[in-house]
């Protein structure tokens, strides 16, 4: 069975840009495979990635493409073991690069690209997805203090934020503080639609989002690992929009 990730790209500036899927990265027994999706044709200003110039081509390689390999921390780095722990991976059994990217999202401060997995129901027909809390650098001092008080398995709450000046589709994350709630961050953009559909389909968001792991020594973008665990509604179809579908071209497979 292939492991797969979608590649999201942001058009526009950091404050008012729009994110959307533009590609799909797979890893199977024969190596890695990358194809562009229809989103690459829809997104204003998108240009093909370096070394992958044709939207209609299939790119294959025995090694992970440099575009994505450069988003992984090298094993030679002194913080590598800590990096695996932050993502809740087993340091004695290093995970597949696709598994690492699915949690870390391959984010870098220097560009407008992220990767994310399309969820599948587990053996119990549940929706389970882990992600790092987003947006903490924009939080107020009381939120940062509350983040420092979080504990594993603590329940968090989701609330749509249509008044958000930068993203009207934003989904905020709240933690209880005495009898009040404190906004501590946001759900990643690529999960917002899923989260809203799951809230609608499962009836409530109470208990569906919890703190999976805290990493006080990690950078902010890897400080709080969350876990979304809820039912899988019968009509729930993630990653089914046209922008997720691969572009089928006449060009044959190309070896990177």
The share of the chain scoring above pLDDT 90, in percent, equals 39
Q: What value does the mean pLDDT of the chain take? A: 84
Residue predicted with more confidence, 173 or 112: 173
Q: Are residues 156 and 109 in the same domain?
A: no
Supply the CATH number for residue 145's domain: 3.30.70.2330
Q: Are residues 131 and 213 in the same domain?
A: yes
Q: Are residues 12 and 70 in the same domain?
A: yes
Residues sharing a CB contact under 8 Å with residue 173, sequence separation 6 or more, in sequence order = 133, 156, 157, 158, 183, 184, 185, 186, 187, 209, 226
Residue 6 has pLDDT above 90, yes or no: yes
CA nearest neighbour of 184 among 127, 145, 126: 145
* Sheet of 171-177, strand order: 126-132, 224-231, 209-214, 155-160, 171-177, 180-186
Q: Are residues 102 and 16 in the same domain?
A: yes
pLDDT at position 14 is 52
Beta bridge partners of 166: none
pLDDT at position 190 is 78
pLDDT at position 17 is 58
Residue predicted with more confidence, 197 or 107: 197
Residue 145 tokens read as 């203090």
The model carries a pTM of 0.77
Question: What's the number of domains the chain is made of?
Answer: 2
Q: Are residues 138 and 213 in the same domain?
A: yes
Residues written for the chain: 256
CA distance 151 to 176: 12
With 0-12 / 13-18 / 19 or more C-beta atoms within 10 angstroms meaning exposed / middle / buried, residue 24 is buried
Of 46-55, 173-182, 211-220, 233-242, where does the model show the most confidence?
Answer: 46-55
Residue 82 tokens read as 């800590």
pLDDT at position 80 is 76
Three-state secondary-structure class, residue 48: coil
- Find the mean pLDDT for residues 196-211: 84
pLDDT at position 96 is 79
Q: Are residues 22 and 100 in the same domain?
A: yes
Three-state secondary-structure class, residue 141: helix
Q: Are residues 114 and 143 in the same domain?
A: no
pLDDT at position 185 is 93
DSSP structural state of residue 80: H
pLDDT at position 49 is 95
Q: Are residues 139 and 206 in the same domain?
A: yes
Q: Are residues 245 and 186 in the same domain?
A: no
Q: How confident is the model at residue 152 (pLDDT cuts 50, 70, 90)?
A: very high
| Ordered DSSP codes for 187-211 | --HHHHHHHHHHHHHHS--TTTEEE
C-alpha 243 chain-centroid distance = 17
- Indicate the pairing of strand 253-255 with strand 58-61: parallel
Domain hosting residue 55, numbered range: 3-118+240-255
Residue 249 has pLDDT above 80, yes or no: no
CA nearest neighbour of 122 among 203, 226, 3, 229: 229
User: Which sign does the torsion angle of CA 33, 37, 41, 44 carry?
Assistant: negative
Q: Are residues 113 and 11 in the same domain?
A: yes
């Amino acid at each position: 069975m292939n492991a797969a990730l979608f590649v999201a790209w942001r058009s526009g500036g950091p404050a008012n840009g729009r994110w959307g899927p533009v590609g799909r990265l797979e890893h199977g027994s024969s190596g890695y495979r990358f194809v562009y999706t229809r989103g690459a044709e829809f997104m204003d200003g998108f240009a093909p990635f370096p070394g992958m110039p044709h939207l209609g081509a299939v790119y294959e390689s025995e090694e992970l493409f440099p575009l994505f390999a450069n988003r992984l921390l090298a094993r030679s780095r002194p913080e590598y073991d800590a990096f695996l722990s932050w993502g809740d991976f087993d340091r004695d059994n290093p995970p597949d690069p696709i598994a690492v990217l699915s949690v870390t999202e391959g984010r870098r401060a220097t560009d407008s690209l992220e990767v994310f997995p399309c969820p599948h129901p587990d053996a119990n027909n549940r929706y389970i997805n882990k992600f790092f809390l987003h947006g903490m650098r924009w939080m107020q001092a009381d939120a940062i203090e509350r983040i420092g008080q979080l504990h594993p398995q603590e329940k968090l709450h989701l609330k749509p934020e249509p008044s958000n000046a930068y993203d009207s589709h934003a989904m905020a994350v709240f933690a209880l503080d005495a009898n009040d709630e404190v906004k501590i961050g946001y759900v990643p953009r690529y999960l917002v639609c899923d989260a809203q559909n799951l809230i609608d389909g499962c009836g409530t968001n109470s208990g569906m989002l919890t703190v999976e792991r805290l990493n006080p020594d990690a950078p902010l973008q890897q400080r709080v690992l969350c876990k979304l665990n809820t039912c899988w509604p019968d009509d729930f179809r993630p990653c089914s929009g046209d922008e997720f579908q691969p572009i089928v071209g006449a060009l044959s497979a190309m070896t990177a």
